Structure 1
Amino acid sequence: MASKFASYGQNYTSLLHLFLLLSSVLTSSSDLSFNFYAGSCPVAEFLVRNTVRTAFSSDPTIPGKLLRLLFHDCFVQGCDASVLIQGNNTERSDPGNTSLGGFSVIERAKNAVEIFCPATVSCADIVVLAARDAVEASGGPVVEIPTGRRDGRVSVAADVRPNIIDTDFSLDKMIESFSSKGLSIQDLVVLSGAHTIGDSHCNAFDGRFKRDSKGNFELIDASLDNSYAETLMNKCSSSTSLTVSNDPETSSRFDNQYYKNLEERKGLFQTDSALMEDNRTRKIVEDLASDEESFFERWRESFVKLSMVGVKVGEDGEIRRSCSSVN
């Protein structure tokens, strides 16, 4: 009985902490709120969740794609769905975004919502909700998300490269990038846990290897486990356009295995390995590797903070009729 009360107390404290965090965030973005669509479109979140789960049932790579789509949206122009806009010189056309996926899922969710609630639910909210639901569908934590974001009207390819994280960034460059979005070092380590699901093309990490005179790969990154490196080199030897799982152990499940992989020097990207090689982040990695519930609790907090980066409200944006173009 005592252990049950102790567990209840810990959960209560975590929920209280999350509530206080969200309260402070929402104070500065008063037009966002929980159940924002309760009166105008009460089926909105159900429709998005159902669309994500249906897509996931036929394509297990969808959760990773939706989660990556959110990161690439929020880090450029804020969480305003500007990455969805099609056209020449838009964010979506930039080489840094050409490997993104999940667009069709967002469009299907938007189409479903438009049938019941035309011109009411923003694409920006749908992108955030879809990423949230993708994590939950993969076995991750349930996250309550404030909604009410407006869609951006500007999408410029030149804004992409200065804002997204490249897979060969140093820890200092990652910290600088996250800090510019109002995210902490802890947020950086926790949100990197998104790599517990999803796939990546070989050319995203081939800088960790070099070709010898016979055209075979050789490992040049000492931070990578030799046997894991051998597996990657064999997989990618024929073509750098092939894909591998971000997490070699539990690739389709959102869990804390990513951090266990880092402890075993099996981080796919240089940016992953960097987290284990620096005193500023190593202890956080070790804590998350040893306690999945702690990872889930911190994920809830960091994910909400990510979803609030550069949000547009009121007259700052619009509600797009189609997510791929401005009104």
Structure 2
Amino acid sequence: MVRNTVRSASTLDSTLPGKLLRLVFHDCMVEGCDGSVLLEGNMTERNDPANTSLGGFSVVESAKELLELFCPATVSCADILALAARDAVEFAGGPHVRVLTGRKDGRVSLASNVRPNMVDTSFTLDEMIKLFSSKGLSLDDLVTLSGAHTIGSAHCSAFRDRFQEDSKGNLTLIDSSLDKIFADELIKRCPADVSSSITVNNDPETSMLFDNQYYRNLFSHKGLFQSDSVLFSDGRTREKVDEFSNNQESFFQKWGESFFKLINIGVKTENEGEIRRSCTSIN
């Protein structure tokens, strides 16, 4: 039921796979994989500025409504989100990976917990390593899960730190790790006075396909974020980037392992949570 819901929605909106993948990451890194990012209300995770651009909520809710009809109070929203992200990757051409179910939905969702647990696009490698390590994820997991940027898009503000604005409102590239031609394209797409709603594809080559192009882009100095480019420039991660850029099968295999670890962070079971009747509110 979840897979059919994801496929139907993604056929109508090709941006959904990227949104669902980002949604599960933002859920699992805060409070664990417990559906806390799905809860609505003042001061919940959804209200933090880092999460206001998230999407895909309606797909999860649609799957929940369907499941409640056929098997009420049985499948948690946390499970639906993990399954939906898996199916989104597969729909976009990525590998099919195993997902264990049995998660309970959390009852806590606080905006104040988001920033301390979320990667910022301007993070150094050391900052990312520290955060990922606190979640039980290795350096290889960091490089692998960054490959999620092979699909999806980002608002111009997410990489504006790589440019400087002069007194006339013109942008100039100040990050030498970014390809100049690519940077000029970004400036055209995202001038200083652009609407905050404008987005750019994470992968300028195959934006809708889950493949290893992300890593090839890093070799061409076309990583959209500073946190992308550092994976190529730092010797600790460059070898893995090289491996994945040359071998998509290797990336897909490792993706299955790292994604499995991601969606099992801080899982709640038994009395630690509940199975919500609606994903947007606790019972």
| TM-score of the two chains, using structure 1 as the length reference | 0.85
Task: Tell me the distance in 2 between the aligned counterparts of 1:269 and 1:186.
Answer: 19
CA contact (8 A) 1:76 1:160 kept: yes
Pairwise CA distance, 1:213: 2.5
Pairwise CA distance, 1:99: 0.5
Match of 1:100 among 45, 51, 54: 54
AA paired with 1:264? S
Residue equivalent to 2:222: 266
Residue equivalent to 1:20: none
Counting aligned pairs with the same residue, the percent is 64
AA paired with 1:239? V
Does residue 248 of structure 1 match 2:181?
no
Residue equivalent to 1:214: 168
CA contact (8 A) 1:85 1:92 kept: yes
**Structure with higher RCO (Cα < 8 A, 6+ apart):** 2
Identify unmatched segments of 5+ residues in structure 1. Answer: 1-46
Match of 2:256 among 297, 300, 314: 300
Residue equivalent to 2:194: 239
Aligned length: 281
Residue equivalent to 2:241: 285
Per-residue CA deviation, residues 41-70 of structure 1 (Å, 9 max, x unaligned), is: xxxxxx100000011011000000000000
The correspondence of residues 108-127 of structure 1 with structure 2, limited to 5 A, is 108-127=62-81
Task: Tell me the distance in 1 between the aligned counterparts of 2:129 and 2:163.
Answer: 25
Structure 1 runs (4+) deviating above 4 angstroms are none
Does residue 56 of structure 1 match 2:10?
yes
CA contact (8 A) 1:206 1:240 kept: no
Cα RMSD after superposing both structures: 0.6
Match of 1:173 among 127, 133, 136: 127
Residue equivalent to 2:181: 227
CA contact (8 A) 1:201 1:240 kept: no
Pairwise CA distance, 1:154: 0.5
Residue equivalent to 1:200: 154
What secondary structure, in the 3-state scheme, does the structure 1 residue paired with 2:164 have?
A: strand
Pairwise CA distance, 1:144: 1.1
Match of 1:186 among 119, 123, 140: 140
The correspondence of residues 15-30 of structure 1 with structure 2, limited to 5 A, is none
CA contact (8 A) 1:119 1:321 kept: yes
Task: Tell me the distance in 2 between the aligned counterparts of 1:156 and 1:206.
Answer: 27
Larger Rg, first or second structure (1 or 2): 1
The correspondence of residues 7-86 of structure 1 with structure 2, limited to 5 A, is 47-86=1-40
Residue equivalent to 1:40: none
Match of 2:87 among 133, 143, 152: 133
CA contact (8 A) 1:151 1:318 kept: yes
With 156-165 and 238-247 compared, the bigger mean Cα shift is at 238-247
Pairwise CA distance, 1:320: 0.2
Identify unmatched segments of 5+ residues in structure 2. Answer: none
Pairwise CA distance, 1:211: 1.1
What secondary structure, in the 3-state scheme, does the structure 2 residue paired with 1:275 have?
A: helix
Pairwise CA distance, 1:247: 0.1
Task: Tell me the distance in 1 between the aligned counterparts of 2:174 and 2:163.
Answer: 5
AA paired with 1:281? T
Per-residue CA deviation, residues 63-114 of structure 1 (Å, 9 max, x unaligned), is: 0000000010000000000000000011111111100000000000100111
Pairwise CA distance, 1:240: 5.1
AA paired with 2:25? F
With 235-244 and 99-108 compared, the bigger mean Cα shift is at 235-244
